[in-house]
Structure 1
Amino acid sequence: MPPVDVEWTSVIGLANQTLTTPALIDFVDQFASELPEDVCTYIRQIHRRNSLRNDRLAGQLEEAIIAMNGQGVTPVLLKGAATLATAPDERRGVRLMSDLDIMVMPGEAERAIAALGAIGYEIYEQASPESSRWYVELNRPQDVGTIDLQQAAPGPAYLYPGNGHTLNHCAPVLLGRGSVYVPTPTYRALQLIMHDQFEDYGYWLGDLDLRHLVELRDLNNSVEGLDWKELASHVSSELMKNAVETQLLALAALLGVEVPHSMRSRLIPRLQFMRQLMQARFPSTRVPFLAMTFLDLRNYRREAVTRYTQTSVRRPGLWSMPRADTLQFLLREAIAVRVGKV
């Protein structure tokens, strides 16, 4: 049942901040007779507009896929793009998204960019030559979103060493007249978690991304559902395990998903989730809680340094403070307004 004595303006404000307003349509449809009329009207209007926008994104995606297929490229759809390709039409308006994440193989990048250029796309931004992660962002004036072209799954490469190539966890899917690969629900869940926790620095900053938690819940409720044992098998290190379980704790506690107890009972993930809740309720604690990055700093250094250099540059057991530029970066991000995060 809906909670009583709710300040609906605050609820809508938080939904807008977390980019989850369209997802409230399920709540409105179920309890419309018990909710204020203006709340129902607002949420239905946002959901309707988002459905129209996502229909345009789906058309844009199909056009881009057909163009790339014409150059012999069959891309992998990531995150929201994968949702557009697999969600039933009536559920297309639930997820708010800003771009289309598409992955191509390293040898296909030039052909993919040329194919998109031929249908009017221009490069808006791209990774610098010294960047460890390649990407190109392309746009056209008539579109409602950009295309984010990538060559790797979300998150640092050293977190995926035992998983094999992304294509090993994908199935071919027809998208209109185009052909793509879409990761399995379980692998999509892993990629969402890696994106939030590491590519967006959520694990170090203590952020909650409610929009992606809703998507994880929906993946679990899909026909294929999430295979918890398979998800656990993709976890390759102590650091990754802590990050995944932190996200699963939030999924179970906030959205009622039945996550196995073994994947939400360890100490560090529980401490991290308590930090997330405290920071969400009392934002002034964000800076003091940065000290919790030390909980996994040693795990991070052991995993990242070993993967990148194939050798450990630090003696086992030796501890040191993070570099000054790392601390400055984390402090800057901790006090910044981050869209969609709490």
Structure 2
Amino acid sequence: MCRCLSVDDSANAVAELRASLPRLDDAAGWAGLVQTADADMLAPALRLALARKGLDDAMPAQVRAQLHRRYTMNALLNERIREDALHVTALCERLGIAPVVLKGGAYLFEAPPEMLGGRSMRDLDFLLPADQVDTVVDAMLDQGYMVKDEADDDTTYTHPALQRPGGVVAVELHHRVGQQRSLLSADMAWRDIRTLQTEPRLRVLSPTHRVWHNIFHSQVQDQGHSTGLIWLRQLADLVDICRRHGESIDWAALDQMMTDAGMDGVMRARLLQAERLLGLPWPLRAPPGPAARLRLHRASLLLKAPRTMAVTRMWAALMAPFKLHRMDLLYHCGTGHPVKLAKARLRHIRQVARKYRGNLLGRLWQRRQYDV
């Protein structure tokens, strides 16, 4: 799967991929590859990647038609999601507010038309100034939007998801860049916002901050670094950002941000995954180092042990409410005080237990495919 998605389109790499693909008559092998893609919402990206590499003829006709349908349907869906994004942006502009579209929402406006269906979307995320979120929510409710889900254990960085009648995905309004309080403040992000040539005008994080947000989201917020879970869809997003905006990414500044936050090892481990698994050229001056290589080896071993991976995903879901930066966000306990952190976690355990009561195991089961 990683070889298929790799951005290394050299003749040698494509030849090696062709040799490693299942045979045309190997229905089970192709079914497994498509199933792997589906597990990470990457079937449309798989179709796009194989076509780009000129490997349509390596697929059985039935699989090629199946992936083409997935891609076409996703492209049509993304057109609808673009309309939703522009609707929210226009509504905000009428209020004199300029929202910032986060994560995959930017892809919908940066990708060329022939690649629009290559990214699967589950929701739309916007960043707003904290003191303007309620104003936008009230306006959206007046426009017929409805709260899709009840609030999670906290609303300290995002409002409960909203969706309008006829809309295809939920909209989440954030006033922080991820579940963190001080690593990348909203003020810092706002100072380096970029504007896209759309009408109405959409705004996105700077390329440097988009790389930071992607790595923080997958490796810290979704615990990829601590558990060894790779989160391939987010890794593909990281590679896409680096390919599109490589010259605009200030790697020295990003390296300093990560070092100041104690996340330089996290960044190097993730970039090594991007290099080894998806062919991204190494972007930093310093090499990855043995710790990053050890992390990659651990993640590779986990991929070969599906049962262990299932248990790891469940553990990540169980621990999600008690993550370090989330506790600091909720209780301002800091990230370097073990006693304060332990007290915050005990306090939060009581709150979660009161909220879900007898349904605590059911809530955990709902989050077993944890990949927020």
Q: Answer yes or no: is the 8 Å Cα contact 1:159–1:236 preserved in 2.
A: no
Q: Distance in 2 between matches of 1:184 and 1:112?
A: 23
Structure 2 counterpart of 1:216, from 233, 238, 244: 238
Task: Give the structure with the larger helix fraction.
Answer: 2
Q: Give the direction of change, closer, same or farther, for the CA distance of 1:310–1:141 in structure 2 (3 Å limit).
A: closer
Structure 2 counterpart of 1:149: 173
Structure 1 counterpart of 2:63, from 39, 53, 57: 39
Q: Distance in 2 between matches of 1:148 and 1:215?
A: 19
Structure 1 residues 114-137: Cα deviation after superposition (integer angstroms, max 9, x where no partner): 222232211223546855434231
Q: Answer yes or no: is the 8 Å Cα contact 1:173–1:182 preserved in 2.
A: yes
Structure 2 counterpart of 1:230: 253
Q: Distance in 2 between matches of 1:144 and 1:289?
A: 28
Once the two structures are superposed, the pairs formed by residues 255-294 of structure 1 within 5 Å of their partners are 255-260=278-283, 265-286=288-309
- Cα deviation for residue 228 of structure 1 reads 2.6
Secondary structure, aligned partner of 1:147: strand
Q: Answer yes or no: is the 8 Å Cα contact 1:137–1:146 preserved in 2.
A: yes
- Cα deviation for residue 264 of structure 1 reads 5.3
Once the two structures are superposed, the pairs formed by residues 1-342 of structure 1 within 5 Å of their partners are 1=15, 2-4=18-20, 6=22, 7-24=29-46, 25-29=48-52, 30-125=54-149, 127=151, 131-160=155-184, 165-176=188-199, 178-222=200-244, 225=247, 226-237=249-260, 239-260=262-283, 265-286=288-309, 308-309=332-333, 313=337, 337-338=368-369
Q: Answer yes or no: is the 8 Å Cα contact 1:73–1:111 preserved in 2.
A: no
Structure 1 residues 6-51: Cα deviation after superposition (integer angstroms, max 9, x where no partner): 2111111100001111112231351112322122111111111000
Aligned amino acid, residue 128 of structure 2? V
Q: How many residues matched?
A: 322
Q: Distance in 1 between matches of 2:253 and 2:178?
A: 18
Q: Distance in 1 between matches of 2:335 and 2:111?
A: 44
Structure 1 residues 241-280: Cα deviation after superposition (integer angstroms, max 9, x where no partner): 2222221111011011111465652333333222221112
Q: Give the direction of change, closer, same or farther, for the CA distance of 1:334–1:140 in structure 2 (3 Å limit).
A: closer
Structure 2 counterpart of 1:297: none
Q: Give the direction of change, closer, same or farther, for the CA distance of 1:272–1:105 in structure 2 (3 Å limit).
A: same
Aligned amino acid, residue 214 of structure 2? L
Q: Distance in 1 between matches of 2:152 and 2:367?
A: 24
Q: Give the direction of change, closer, same or farther, for the CA distance of 1:236–1:282 in structure 2 (3 Å limit).
A: same
Task: Give the structure with the larger strand fraction.
Answer: 1
TM-score (normalizing by structure 1): 0.81
Q: Answer yes or no: is the 8 Å Cα contact 1:67–1:119 preserved in 2.
A: no
Q: Any unmatched runs of 5+ in structure 1?
A: 292-299
Secondary structure, aligned partner of 1:93: helix
Q: Distance in 2 between matches of 1:103 and 1:149?
A: 6
Q: Distance in 2 between matches of 1:311 and 1:59?
A: 40
TM-score (normalizing by structure 2): 0.75
Secondary structure, aligned partner of 1:216: helix
Q: Answer yes or no: is the 8 Å Cα contact 2:192–2:205 preserved in 1.
A: yes
Q: Give the direction of change, closer, same or farther, for the CA distance of 1:41–1:281 in structure 2 (3 Å limit).
A: same
Q: Answer yes or no: is the 8 Å Cα contact 1:185–1:219 preserved in 2.
A: yes
Q: Distance in 1 between matches of 2:210 and 2:231?
A: 16
Q: Give the direction of change, closer, same or farther, for the CA distance of 1:89–1:217 in structure 2 (3 Å limit).
A: same
Q: Distance in 1 between matches of 2:125 and 2:108?
A: 11
Q: Give the direction of change, closer, same or farther, for the CA distance of 1:193–1:334 in structure 2 (3 Å limit).
A: farther
Q: Give the direction of change, closer, same or farther, for the CA distance of 1:35–1:309 in structure 2 (3 Å limit).
A: closer
Secondary structure, aligned partner of 2:160: strand
Q: Distance in 1 between matches of 2:109 and 2:313?
A: 39
- Cα deviation for residue 97 of structure 1 reads 0.7
